[in-house]
């Protein structure tokens, strides 16, 4: 039973850790499935960032003297299942790329919500050093989402429409 905000915070940190480690496994598959070079490179860049985010979460857990492990993040697992569907989609290259972007943005939106909540709770708990680290990840997730939106709107969606 969750009896304190701190306990809930730790539980959600572990959820974030599970999410990020699942994403590290999924991103190479998404990069391989992308036909647009810019999209592939974007997935590869995000993989590098995600590995750093995993390290950041390990640092946060060490600061709080809590384990990184916990239960599997079922939300991310479900979203990544949709990503697998995009990877396996039998479609024109640009349509598949549009599907990959959509699947990736679903994950990013979940992460933005998760890290936004964690930042708020860290602030409430007076964990300013932890909040700063989590906020760095939150900003990276927002930038990734923006880059995906720009790529979709400037090129991929129009190519998929044809």
pLDDT at 1: 66
What residues make up the domain containing 122?
5-65+73-161
Which positions ≥6 away from 72 have C-beta within 8 Å? 18, 22
Q: What is the DSSP letter of 88?
A: T
Q: How far is CA 36 from CA 50, 79, 93, in A?
A: 21, 22, 8
* Count of domains for the chain: 1
pLDDT at 106: 97
CATH for 146? 1.20.1260.10
Contact criterion met (CB below 8 Å) for 83 and 107: yes
Q: Name the token pair of 101.
A: 């972007």
pLDDT tens digits, 118-133: 999 999 999 999 999 9
Helices 93-124, 5-33: inter-axial angle, 10-degree rounding: 160
Quick count: other Cβ atoms within 10 Å of Cβ 98? 24
d(CA 26, CA 152): 20
Phi and psi at residue 51, to the nearest 5°: -60, -40
d(CA 58, CA 39): 28
pLDDT at 71: 82
Q: pTM, whole model, 2 decimals?
A: 0.95
Average pLDDT, the chain: 96
Average pLDDT over residues 81-98: 95
Please report, rounded to a whole number, the percentage of residues in the chain having pLDDT higher than 70: 99
pLDDT tens digits, 25-81: 999 999 999 999 999 999 999 999 999 999 999 999 999 999 998 789 999 999 999
């Amino acid at each position: 039973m969750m009896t304190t905000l701190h306990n809930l915070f730790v539980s959600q940190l572990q959820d974030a850790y599970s999410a990020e480690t699942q994403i590290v496994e999924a991103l190479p598959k998404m990069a391989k499935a992308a036909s647009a070079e810019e999209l592939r490179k974007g997935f590869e860049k995000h993989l590098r960032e995600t590995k750093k985010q995993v390290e950041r979460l390990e640092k946060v857990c060490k600061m709080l003297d809590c384990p990184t492990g916990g239960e599997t993040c079922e939300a991310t697992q479900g979203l990544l299942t949709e990503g697998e569907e995009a990877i396996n989609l039998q479609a024109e290259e640009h349509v598949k790329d549009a599907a990959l972007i959509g699947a990736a943005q679903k994950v990013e939106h979940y992460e933005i919500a998760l890290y936004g909540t964690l930042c708020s709770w860290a602030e409430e708990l007076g964990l300013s050093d932890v909040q700063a680290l989590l906020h760095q990840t939150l900003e990276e997730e927002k930038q990734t989402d923006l880059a995906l939106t720009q790529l979709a709107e400037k090129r991929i969606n129009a190519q998929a429409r044809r």
